[in-house]
Chains A and B, each alone.
Chain A
Amino acid sequence: NAGVTQTPKFRVLKTGQSMTLLCAQDMNHEYMYWYRQDPGMGLRLIHYSVGEGTTAKGEVPDGYNVSRLKKQNFLLGLESAAPSQTSVYFCASSYAGLNTEAFFGQGTRLTVV
């Protein structure tokens, strides 16, 4: 049972390049989330999904897009990377909304130069 798996673990991008971060969960969870973690800022919600085929904006959605074509996968895309998007990205999933806990992936460290 792998839980929540993020791919890749590390990546360096040049400004303007695009990339997709993959989050996969094998717990049959409905809810999935993408956060970014920056020093002194805690975890800030980028986008989230409450089920297959649905997505919603979080606190800091600008510059990111997401897709949830399959229940087990939640993709985070950066169309044109900027240095301000240098961060550690965490994916999480939960069985439902209220009265359930979220499980986190190991994180992706992204550097944009």
Chain B
Amino acid sequence: AQSVSQHNHHVILSEAASLELGCNYSYGGTVNLFWYVQYPGQHLQLLLKYFSGDPLVKGIKGFEAEFIKSKFSFNLRKPSVQWSDTAEYFCAVHGSSNTGKLIFGQGTTLQVKP
């Protein structure tokens, strides 16, 4: 069955530290991959997405992610975090043969200390 796993449940960083959040999925076919962010008290917003082409995708607010097909991974990175990046981050996958099923990981809570 299609699934998504996020390795880090709670990450605490100081401002200017580098960030990498892990995401692995299980699905054998073509996938769309997403990272969404949820700021405290708000709804989910799209950070970035991968549909096809260049496996290194850039999103908003300096975030980027790399799709490594052989590892079934789509890790999120940011070279220097800010206090305003404090939020919950969700990885999601949509598989080609599961029409309509957009499945999310458990989420990672990022706390950035000023």
A60 to B42, CA, bound (A): 23
Which residues in B have their C-beta under 8 angstroms from that of A50? Answer: 99-100
For window 10-51 of chain B, which residues contact chain A by CB distance below 8 Å? 30, 32, 34, 36, 42-46, 49, 51
Which residues in A have their C-beta under 8 angstroms from that of B34? Answer: 101-102
| Main secondary structure on A side of the interface with B | strand
The chain A residue sitting closest to B48, CB to CB, is A101
Which residues in A have their C-beta under 8 angstroms from that of B36? Answer: 104
State the Cβ distance, A43 to closest chain B Cβ, in Å. Answer: 4
Report, as a range, how many residues of chain A touch the other chain. 20 to 34
Tell me, yes or no, whether A45 is within 8 Å of chain B by CB: yes
State the Cβ distance, B59 to closest chain A Cβ, in Å. Answer: 11
Tell me, yes or no, whether B74 is within 8 Å of chain A by CB: no
* Residue ranges of B at the interface with A (Cβ–Cβ < 8 Å): 6, 9, 30, 32, 34, 36, 42-46, 49, 51-52, 90, 92, 94, 96, 99-107
Given contacts A40-B9, A98-B94, A106-B42, 19 further A-B contacts (CB under 8 A): A40-B106, A42-B6, A42-B104, A42-B106, A43-B90, A43-B107, A45-B104, A48-B100, A48-B102, A50-B100, A56-B100, A98-B30, A98-B51, A99-B51, A102-B46, A102-B102, A104-B36, A104-B45, A106-B43
